[in-house]
Chain A
Amino acid sequence: MLWACLLFSDLRTADADGAATARRLHSLAAWAYRFSSQVSIAAPDALLIEVGASLSLFDGWPALQRRLRRELAAFGHAPAFAVAPVPAAARILALRHDGFFTDQREPMRIALGAMPIAQSGLAAGVITLLHNVGLRTLREVFALPRLELARRIGPAALGVLDRLRGENHETLELYRPPERFAHRIEFDHRIEAWPPLLFPLRRLCGELSLFLTARDGGVQRCELVLEHEDCAATRIPVELLTPQRDAHTLYELARGRLERASLAAPVSGLALVARDLPPLCPRHKDLFETRREQQLDWPQLAERLRAHLGDASVRQLAIVAEHRPERAWSFATGRKPAQELRPRPTWLLPRALPLRGPAPQILAGPERIESGWWDGDDARRDYYVVLTREGQRAWAYLPAGAHDGWMLHGWFA
């Protein structure tokens, strides 16, 4: 274990009540979670990050430190860094030795020994007591006989000193990333059309993607909330077939939904809320796969089409075990019923139409289809394969027993 302490001394002075500082620290913890799975908030002004497990991934501490400093500078922070095998020690050392790094206990103890008692994190009363005895640095305190020291300063303060030296294990409360994502952007002006919303949307999707990457998850369902000043917010659900987390993909899909939505009123704010965050299983790509650039998997393609045309526009065909032709198919994945062996047209008309013109030439039939007396949609028909004057092959029926009144129900296209 190797703990890095990031001490944000500028954070405390900026804020009086501490609530804003706590929020800020929380969002910094979310950022730091990308670098380590063990991040702890050391209130009021520091973050502890376990970097031992991440060093080889990030090319060692100098490279990782540079990267952390650069990213924090972009947020407007310049914290002090200290790295030590013991979190409490790293915390203290950051106060005085910015950039301190050791992964050994002995150098850590030597550096701790040089720290003044005033910065040791002991209670104020204990510090005064030790000062009155004439002790100034931790080294002098560590040198005292343990029993004598315990009698003077009490077990609580002794515990603090033990934790500093790493002789007593410290249990840290680790940061857990939140279970839902909700980011919101408020506009200075009222926005009347959707194109100006695309820029903030792209930013929100980028943030969502970062959030999902940190959680190692994807998003399957999220919601775009368009806030209006005078009326209830417009909610645009974005439903995806498979979990996604790529920022550009999310943006494209959300944009498709946004373009189709009508704005009820000028928009004063835009929010992206995601609750359903299943684990993501990225498709394993074959090293030798010969796919060309810009090609899409079917799920991605279906998403793009659904985003553009509407959620119900891409459907799979299926057979239903039913005699009435108009009910013998459906848009869903169905079980596979027995295959129809009698002639069936490749086109079915949505509704049967009267067949105009002279009586057609009968090629095959009749085939009596009689069903549905139990559900009120009674059908008694004699189906024929007929040939029209234009040479078209049609599937037409006569009401059972009738000789006239041809109804066209399909084409053998």
Chain B
Amino acid sequence: MNAVALDAVLKHPGVWRRSASASHHVRAISTGLAELDAQLPGGGWPCGALSEILFAHDGLGELSLLMPALAELTRKGQRVVFVAPPYIPYAPALAAHGLDLRHVVQIDADAGDGAWSAEQCLRSGSCGAVLGWMQQADYTQLRRLQLAAESGDALAFLFRSARSADKTSPAALRLQLHADAGQVDLEILKCRALDMRRITRLRYRA
């Protein structure tokens, strides 16, 4: 095998090298937070992968965290799907964050159908991002979502309780929000292709 062929193999997205130099091969969409982008391989939310956001209480900014990326997707005409959200995604606020509401869709489904709907949307290849709130999702379901996100090349976001932080997960990225004296910190629990010796905790909301 000559050097050129080897280089092509190493650049393949399926090949993970545990070194920072390989990180720019991860396709990603900017989170809108420069500090966070600097930490994540590819500089943002990984495309075609499942990202988990863990938080203890509503209102820590868990949804706002995605807004810049979602706004970017809708600007490019890609669809953003809320699957069975716990509250009403408030249209005026989404619009104020720059989302083009023509590309925002809400799907109402009960607990069992939620995972199915999310998987269908991810797999279809016609959705840019799919947001889900399946609290009861087990490892198998998460794995299915991760595979669906890969095959449909979509961004999958799963919002879960902080209690699942110590459970194993096939997600490419896991972030946890910590509320502390009125401030909110962001911790990177797991990230594929990231050198974990670097900083994993940063201030999100002062």
Contacts and interface: CB of A to CB of B under 8 A. Distances in A.
Contacts of A410: 87, 90
Given A390-B57, A392-B60, A318 B91 contact: yes
Contacts of B60: 391-393, 413
Contacts of A23: none
A371 B67 CA distance: 29
Contacts of A413: 58-64, 87
B93 A344 contact: yes
A145 to B, nearest CB: 76
Interface stretch (B2-10, B12-20, B122-130, B163-171): B122-130
A270 B8 CA distance: 58
B125 A305 contact: no
B59 A412 contact: yes
Nearest to A320: B91
Contacts of A347: 58-59, 63, 85-90
Contact of A346 (B90, B101, B127): B90
A348 B106 contact: no
A350 to B, nearest CB: 6
Contacts of A317: 89, 91, 94, 101, 104-106
Contacts of A333: 102
Given A313-B108, A313-B109, A344-B96, A411 B91 contact: no
B202 interface: no
Contacts of A126: none
Contacts of A400: none
Contact of B57 (A294, A314, A325, A391): A391
B117 interface: yes
B107 A297 contact: no
Given A314-B105, A391-B183, A340 B92 contact: yes
Given A309-B109, A345-B93, A387-B182, A298 B124 contact: yes
A4 B183 CA distance: 84
A329 to B, nearest CB: 4
Given A295-B152, A412-B64, A361 B182 contact: yes
Contacts of B79: 298
Interface in A336-361: 339-341, 344-350, 361
A319 B101 contact: yes
Nearest to A330: B91
A295 B109 contact: no
Contacts of B90: 325, 328-329, 344-348, 410
B154 to A, nearest CB: 11
B157 to A, nearest CB: 12
B46 to A, nearest CB: 18
Given A313-B107, A346-B67, A308 B91 contact: no
A388 B101 contact: no
A309 B92 contact: no
Residue from A304, A305, A320, A393 having most chain B Cβ neighbours under 10 A = A305
A305 B63 contact: no
A294 B91 contact: no
Nearest to A392: B59
Contacts of B96: 339-341, 344
A345 B179 CA distance: 18
B58 A392 contact: yes
A412 B182 contact: no
A331 B90 CA distance: 11
Interface string A115-136: 0000000000000000000000
A369 to B, nearest CB: 12
B64 A329 contact: no
Nearest to A394: B59
Contacts of B181: 391
A384 B123 CA distance: 41
Contacts of A320: 91
Contacts of A388: 57, 59
Interface string B67-84: 100000000000100000
Nearest to B91: A329
Given A349-B87, A394-B59, A314 B107 contact: yes
Contacts of B86: 347
B95 interface: yes
Interface string A294-336: 1111101110110011101111111110000100111101000
A189 interface: no
A340 B181 CA distance: 29
Given A292-B151, A344-B93, A392-B57, A305 B107 contact: yes
A336 B57 CA distance: 32
A291 interface: yes
A302 B125 CA distance: 12
A197 to B, nearest CB: 22
Given A297-B124, A309-B113, A391-B184, 15 more contacts: A292-B152, A292-B153, A295-B124, A298-B124, A300-B124, A308-B117, A309-B109, A339-B95, A341-B96, A344-B92, A345-B93, A392-B60, A411-B59, A411-B87, A413-B60
Interface of A: 291-292, 294-298, 300-302, 304-305, 308-310, 312-320, 325, 328-331, 333, 339-341, 344-350, 361, 387-388, 390-394, 410-413
8 contacts: A292-B153, A298-B79, A309-B109, A314-B105, A330-B91, A388-B57, A392-B58, A413-B64
Interface of B: 56-64, 67, 79, 85-97, 101-102, 104-109, 113, 116-117, 120-121, 123-127, 151-153, 179-184, 205
Top 7 nearest A-B pairs (CB, nearest first) are A391-B179, A392-B59, A411-B59, A295-B125, A329-B91, A413-B63, A344-B93
